[in-house]
């Protein structure tokens, strides 16, 4: 059913609404004017200023490392949980199990942040670990809600994949472990990768939870950016935005292209 | 099959990182604020809950948050449904690129997008600059740090999440149903209202809740784009924790927010189960 | 070779297997016939090892099979959906079981080639399952199981996904394969023509147990229960009882037969064995012709008897007009007494 003109117009307006601020952000990164979002001639100076901002660069590097590590941890935990839910049939406490993995998806960020901080404080008080708060606690916190998202993606894929494939493998002589390794894993690999990317992005983007569970040395990019934005916006932010859009955009284009080729 | 071996670490993960923190919230809400690090003493104190009930400031914060969340979700739905309809109507080959186009803003990080809005809405920002340049206004309009700016930022951040479930439901709709309705004499508008809309209503509800629930606890956008008076619960909780260092009160606020969201959350999970 | 006794399997409130007994001879083509819900797929899964029976015994050549997991049983299964691994090509699919068994590369290659030749798919080694037709997928699934040289192959509705035209030809090819490999085949199907045409022996399943077992002609000609009579060939079944050596049937409105055992509770009569009585024959029963349908090589008549029951009768000439009275007759030996 082809949508009518009004619907099309709203759709276009919607995309414009979503994209215009981003395009303007990127566009003005190339402006020489010190006042952000004003055009003062073409210039790349703000990229230079960005490159010289050591603190910001450190924050970027920290965020990237935390995001990669927490995404990996999230995939291991979330993937395992999804597999248990999709393939284990009924087991004791299954309802609670399913409810717990779904919780981070619906809890407000401030609640997740506060409750995890309290957990870390309590753990430190009782068993002395984790000692202090910083990159490691952020990593754990991000992995915990990342796993919830990974579980959703992997569960969806497992639900699609025929269970009889694993049974056929076992019928042909594969133990459950071998069947998982040779049959299930290759089939859910795209979902695992998608889950990893999702968890990575969420980690890179999080300011609320990280603020709660972080410590003096744990200044991530979002935390640094948040402090900057509280005071207003500078053209450095434009430059950062332009870089992020460039990197993410090309990664997405690459993923689309790979996906298209995989289909053929 | 050694299921126990796999389940044990998974249970540990879930109980430690999801269940325990929520229980500790309750423990903390009953504690007493104190000087020192960390700033509390365990106890059995109901004053935090009492404050929530007695001081209208907190009730107002909850109401303000729910109102903001409902308005945001409602506006998102209004824009999202036609957007999803438009996206579902394109040729199947274009669907994936359209989806990418929808989700790319999300992937670039939402702080940067808020930064863009700050740049656009501030007194020396692009919009005011254009208005003055075109001679429409003399003095800058106070666009930033208003309820309006906050709402625009919220809708901009949450819109893709309202579109996704509706879009998914629309492309899963059996085209034979629409053709059957047309065959029985229904014109396109009638087909939409009698077949498409009812069948995608659960997805629309899911889209609404997908925005409403997290938006109720939103802190960053009200803080960066909204007026100081916009004391939604997310902001109040943050302030109580970081500025007043009253951890028990913050915990009590978190529990109050959770209590309010239980019904929407249950509704959302039931919608998901039916999908 | 394979002996199962008193198998029980429950799923919640449903009793899928209710005291099922089965004995399979080596090298035989055995068909399990039944409607959906009769327990046939459950039985296959129990034999393959995917579901454990709640009660009963299962022995293969005398060895208790119940504690043996699926990957250790010398039994292979061909799944209804074929279950071909989508991320592997045809050759790797067939190689899978051989690799698990540790067969060396050279021998593997030879056996794969032989298996492909057996099913007539030479040259398709590099194709992926998504690039195959339904019939080709079925053959790959067969090859994948047969390359393991099982003593017993389980087939779950192997031809259900094929078009009608292909089914008959494929069925005969399947039987030829079975003869050639010498493995015992247990084929589960709901298509009675398949079962009758291909099997050495068939078992008709009803409600989780075996209603009748035997060679196809025997089960067809001498059904043991009403269910088997109706399920195989849709025979007419008339209720009644024996009195003074005569079978009285109220629903037929006449005395239908003589000389049957006294505990006969119903009789079965096949449509193709009833014919219109000629003018000088004494009819066995008379009725009114309600309807007639042309079926290509014959007509199917529906005749309503005085007692209210309808008989299906096959006739190979144009039938009289609907509404006319018809006289029907049959050989005495065509009447099958039923005791259940």
- Write the pLDDT tens digit of every residue in C185-223: 999 998 888 899 999 999 999 888 898 999 999 999 889
Across residues C59-77, what is the average pLDDT?
91
- The whole-angstrom distance between B67's CA and the closest CA on chain A is 16
Query: Where are the extended beta strands (E) located within C227-331?
Result: 236-239, 241-243, 246-249, 254-258, 266-269, 275-276, 285-294, 299-304, 310-315, 325-329
With a cut of 50, say whether residue C256 has pLDDT above it.
yes
- Edge-to-edge, what's the strand order for the sheet holding C325-329? C275-276, C325-329, C285-294, C299-304, C310-315
- The whole-angstrom distance between C137's CA and the closest CA on chain A is 14
* Token representation of residue C202: 């068939």
pLDDT, position C129: 92
| Contact residues, chain C, for A167 at CB < 8 Å | 48, 50, 70, 79, 83
Taking an 8 Å cut-off on Cβ atoms, the answer to whether C70 and A162 are in contact is no
Taking an 8 Å cut-off on Cβ atoms, the answer to whether B269 and A36 are in contact is no
More confident residue, A40 or A180: A180
Taking an 8 Å cut-off on Cβ atoms, the answer to whether A178 and C100 are in contact is yes
Nearest Cα residue in chain A from C47: A171
* Token representation of residue C306: 């005085």
Taking an 8 Å cut-off on Cβ atoms, the answer to whether C100 and A167 are in contact is no
| Contact residues, chain A, for C70 at CB < 8 Å | 167, 170-171
Asked which of A45-54, B144-153, C43-52 is least confident by mean pLDDT, the reply is A45-54
Please give the Cα distance from A57 to A136 (Å, whole number). 19
- When pLDDT is cut at 50, 70 and 90, the band that residue C90 belongs to is very high
Residues whose CB falls within 8 Å of the CB of residue C198, separated by 6 or more in sequence, listed in order: C29, C31, C171, C172, C174, C175, C187
* Token representation of residue B98: 């359209």
Candidates C81, C87, C100; nearest CB to A172: C100
| Contact residues, chain A, for B28 at CB < 8 Å | 118
Residue pLDDT tens, chain B, 275 long: 567 888 999 999 999 999 999 999 999 888 888 877 778 888 888 888 888 888 889 999 999 999 999 999 999 999 999 999 999 888 888 888 888 889 888 888 889 999 999 988 888 888 888 888 888 877 778 888 999 999 999 999 999 999 999 999 998 888 888 888 888 888 888 888 888 899 999 999 999 999 999 999 999 999 999 999 889 999 999 999 999 888 999 999 999 999 999 999 888 888 876 54
Query: How many interchain CB pairs under 8 A, A with C?
Result: 56
pLDDT, position B212: 94
Residue among A23, A22, A256, A13 nearest B86 (CA): A13
pLDDT, position C276: 87
Query: How far from chain centre, in Å, is Cα A168?
Result: 35
- The whole-angstrom distance between A199's CA and the closest CA on chain B is 11
Interface of A with B in 80-109 (CB under 8 A): 80-81, 83-84, 88, 91, 93, 97, 100-104, 106-109
| Contact residues, chain B, for A91 at CB < 8 Å | 3, 7
Query: Chains meeting B at 3+ CB pairs closer than 8 A?
Result: A
Residue among A204, A213, A83, A211 nearest A146 (CA): A204
| Contact residues, chain B, for A244 at CB < 8 Å | 108-109, 112
Q: What is the CA radius of gyration of chain A?
A: 22
**Cβ(B150)–Cβ(B230) under 8 Å?**
yes
ipTM: 0.87
Query: How far from chain centre, in Å, is Cα A172?
Result: 39
| Average pLDDT value for chain A | 88
Residue among C166, C185, C144 nearest C31 (CA): C185
Taking an 8 Å cut-off on Cβ atoms, the answer to whether A81 and B269 are in contact is no
Nearest Cα residue in chain C from A170: C71
Best residue in C44, C80, C85 for a mutation probing chain A (most A CBs within 10 Å): C85
Across residues C286-293, what is the average pLDDT?
90
- Write the pLDDT tens digit of every residue in A223-245: 999 998 988 788 888 888 888 88
Taking an 8 Å cut-off on Cβ atoms, the answer to whether A170 and C81 are in contact is no
With a cut of 70, say whether residue A262 has pLDDT above it.
no
- Write the pLDDT tens digit of every residue in A187-212: 888 889 889 988 998 998 899 999 99
Best residue in C42, C48, C71 for a mutation probing chain A (most A CBs within 10 Å): C71
Does A28 touch chain B if contact means CB atoms closer than 8 Å? yes
Nearest Cα residue in chain A from C150: A172
pLDDT, position A252: 78
Domain B57-274 CATH class label: mainly alpha
Q: Are strands C266-269 and C236-239 parallel, antiparallel or unpaired?
A: antiparallel
Give kind and range of the element (H or E) at residue C91: helix C90-100
Concatenating the DSSP letter of every residue in A107-142 gives S-HHHHHHHHHHHHHHHHHHH--S-S-SHHHHHHHH
pLDDT, position A3: 66
Cα dist from A237 to A17, A226, A240, whole Å: 20, 11, 5
Percent residues over pLDDT 90 in chain C: 42
- When pLDDT is cut at 50, 70 and 90, the band that residue A117 belongs to is very high
- Write the pLDDT tens digit of every residue in B117-149: 998 888 888 888 888 888 887 777 888 899 999
Concatenating the DSSP letter of every residue in C63-76 gives EE-TTS-GGGSSEE
The domain spans of chain A are 53-263
Residues of A with CB under 8 A from a CB of C: 162, 164-165, 167-175, 178, 182-183, 186-187
Task: Determine how many CB atoms are found less than 10 A away from the CB of residue B71.
Answer: 17
Concatenating the DSSP letter of every residue in chain B gives --HHHHHHHHHHHHIIIIIHHHHHHHHHHTSEE-SSSS-EE-----HHHHHHHH-HHHHHHHHHHHHHHHHHHHHHHHHHHHHHHHHHTS-HHHHHHHHHHHHHHHHT-HHHHHHHHHHHHSTTSHHHHHHHHTTS-SSPP--SSSHHHHHHHHHHHHHHHHHHHHHHHHHHS-HHHHHHHHHTT--HHHHIIIIIHHHHHHHHHHHHHHHHHHHHT--HHHHHHS-TT---HHHHHHIIIIIS--HHHHHHHHHHHHHHHHHHHHHHHHHHHH-
- When pLDDT is cut at 50, 70 and 90, the band that residue A4 belongs to is confident
- The whole-angstrom distance between C248's CA and the closest CA on chain A is 53
- The whole-angstrom distance between A75's CA and the closest CA on chain C is 22
Give kind and range of the element (H or E) at residue C154: strand C152-156
| Contact residues, chain B, for A252 at CB < 8 Å | 100, 104, 107
Nearest Cα residue in chain B from A143: B17
| Contact residues, chain B, for A88 at CB < 8 Å | 3, 7
Query: How far from chain centre, in Å, is Cα A247?
Result: 15
Best residue in C50, C83, C130, C186 for a mutation probing chain A (most A CBs within 10 Å): C83
**Residue whose token pair is 């024996």:** C242
- The whole-angstrom distance between C79's CA and the closest CA on chain A is 7
Please give the Cα distance from A57 to A243 (Å, whole number). 13
pLDDT, position A264: 44
- Write the pLDDT tens digit of every residue in A207-227: 999 999 998 777 899 999 999
What interhelical angle do A5-27 and B147-172 show, nearest 10? 130
Query: Chains meeting C at 3+ CB pairs closer than 8 A?
Result: A
With a cut of 70, say whether residue A89 has pLDDT above it.
yes
Fold of A53-263: MetI-like fold (1.10.3720)
Residue among B84, B95, B275 nearest B196 (CA): B84
With a cut of 90, say whether residue A143 has pLDDT above it.
yes
Task: Determine how many CB atoms are found less than 10 A away from the CB of residue C242.
Answer: 18
Task: Determine how many CB atoms are found less than 10 A away from the CB of residue B122.
Answer: 23
| Contact residues, chain B, for A109 at CB < 8 Å | 214, 217-219, 234
Nearest Cα residue in chain B from A140: B17
More confident residue, A32 or C201: C201
Residue among B106, B76, B121, B77 nearest B224 (CA): B121
């Amino acid at each position: 059913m082809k949508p009518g003109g009004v619907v099309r117009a709203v759709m276009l307006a919607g995309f414009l609404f979503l994209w215009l601020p981003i395009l303007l952000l990127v566009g003005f990164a190339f402006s020489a004017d010190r006042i952000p979002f004003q055009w003062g001639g073409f210039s790349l100076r703000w990229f230079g200023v960005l490159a010289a901002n050591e603190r910001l660069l450190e924050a970027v590097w920290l965020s990237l490392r935390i995001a990669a590590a927490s995404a990996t941890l999230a995939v291991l935990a979330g993937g395992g949980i999804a597999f248990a839910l999709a393939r284990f049939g009924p087991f004791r406490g299954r309802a609670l199990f399913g409810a717990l993995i779904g919780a981070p998806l619906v809890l407000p960020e401030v609640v997740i942040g506060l409750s995890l901080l309290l957990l870390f404080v309590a753990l430190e008080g009782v068993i002395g670990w984790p000692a202090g708060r910083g990159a490691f606690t952020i990593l754990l916190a991000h992995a915990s809600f990342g796993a919830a998202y990974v579980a959703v993606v992997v569960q969806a894929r497992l639900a699609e994949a025929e269970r009889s494939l694993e049974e056929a493998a076992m019928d042909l002589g594969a133990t459950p472990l071998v069947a998982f390794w040779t049959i299930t894993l290759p089939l859910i690999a795209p979902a695992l990768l998608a889950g990893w990317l999702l968890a990575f992005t969420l980690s890179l983007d999080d300011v609320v939870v990280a603020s709660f569970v972080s410590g003096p040395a744990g200044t991530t990019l979002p935390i640094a950016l948040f402090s900057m934005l509280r005071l207003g916006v500078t053209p450095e932010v434009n430059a950062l935005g332009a870089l992020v859009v460039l990197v993410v955009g090309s990664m997405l284009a690459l993923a689309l292209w790979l996906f298209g080729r995989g289909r053929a | 099959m050694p299921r126990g071996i796999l389940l044990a670490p998974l249970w540990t993960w879930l109980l430690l990182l999801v269940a325990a923190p929520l229980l500790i919230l309750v423990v903390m809400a009953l504690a007493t604020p104190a000087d020192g690090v960390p700033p509390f003493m365990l106890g059995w104190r109901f004053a935090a809950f009492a404050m929530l009930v007695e001081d209208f400031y907190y009730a107002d914060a909850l109401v303000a948050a729910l109102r903001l969340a409902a308005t945001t979700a409602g506006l998102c739905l209004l824009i999202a449904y036609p957007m999803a309809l438009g996206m579902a109507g394109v040729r199947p080959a274009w669907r994936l690129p359209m989806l990418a186009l929808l989700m790319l803003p999300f992937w670039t990080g939402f702080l940067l997008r808020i930064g863009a809005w700050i740049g656009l809405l501030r007194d020396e920002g692009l919009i005011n600059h254009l208005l003055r340049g075109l001679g429409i206004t003399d003095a800058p309009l106070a666009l930033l740090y208003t309820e309006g700016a906050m709402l625009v930022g919220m809708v901009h951040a949450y819109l893709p999440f309202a579109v996704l479930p509706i879009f998914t439901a629309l492309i899963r709709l059996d085209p034979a149903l629409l053709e059957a309705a047309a065959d029985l004499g229904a014109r396109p508008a009638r087909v939409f209202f009698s077949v498409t809309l009812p069948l995608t209503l659960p997805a629309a509800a899911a889209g609404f809740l997908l925005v409403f629930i997290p938006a109720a606890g939103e802190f960053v956008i009200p803080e960066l784009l909204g007026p100081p008076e916009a004391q939604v619960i997310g902001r109040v909780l943050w302030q109580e924790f970081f500025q007043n260092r009253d951890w028990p009160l913050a915990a009590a606020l978190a529990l109050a927010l959770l209590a309010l969201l239980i019904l929407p959350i249950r509704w959302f999970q039931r919608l998901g189960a039916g999908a | 070779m394979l002996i199962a006794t008193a198998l029980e399997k429950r799923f919640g409130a449903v009793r899928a297997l209710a005291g099922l007994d089965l004995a399979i001879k080596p090298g035989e083509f055995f068909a399990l016939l039944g409607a959906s819900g009769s327990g046939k797929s459950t039985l296959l899964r129990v034999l393959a090892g995917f579901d454990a029976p709640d009660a009963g015994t299962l022995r293969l050549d005398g060895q208790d099979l119940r504690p043996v997991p699926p990957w250790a049983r010398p039994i292979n299964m061909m799944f209804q959906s074929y279950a071909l691994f989508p991320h592997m090509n045809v050759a790797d699919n067939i190689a899978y079981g051989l690799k698990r068994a540790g067969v060396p590369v050279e021998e593997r290659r030879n056996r794969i080639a032989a298996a492909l030749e057996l099913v007539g798919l030479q040259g398709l080694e590099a194709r992926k399952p998504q690039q195959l037709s339904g019939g080709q997928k079925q053959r790959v699934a067969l090859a994948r199981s047969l390359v393991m040289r099982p003593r017993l192959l389980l087939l779950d509705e192997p031809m259900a996904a094929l078009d009608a035209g292909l089914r008959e030809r494929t069925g005969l090819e399947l039987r030829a394969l079975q003869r050639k490999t010498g493995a015992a085949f247990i084929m589960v199907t709901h298509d009675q023509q398949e079962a009758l045409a291909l099997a050495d022996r068939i078992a008709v399943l009803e409600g989780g147990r075996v209603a009748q077992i035997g060679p196809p002609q025997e089960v067809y000609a001498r059904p043991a229960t009403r269910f088997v009579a109706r399920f195989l060939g849709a025979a007419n079944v008339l209720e009644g009882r024996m009195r003074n050596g005569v079978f009285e049937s109220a629903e037929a409105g006449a005395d239908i037969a003589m000389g049957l055992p006294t505990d006969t509770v119903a009789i079965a009569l096949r449509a193709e064995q009833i014919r219109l009585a000629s003018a000088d024959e004494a009819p066995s029963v008379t009725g009114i012709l309600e309807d007639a349908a042309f079926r290509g090589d014959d007509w199917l008549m529906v005749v309503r008897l005085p007692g209210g029951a309808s008989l299906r009768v096959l006739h190979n000439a144009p039938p009289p007009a609907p509404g006319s009275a018809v006289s029907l007759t049959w050989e005495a030996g065509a009447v099958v007494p039923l005791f259940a």
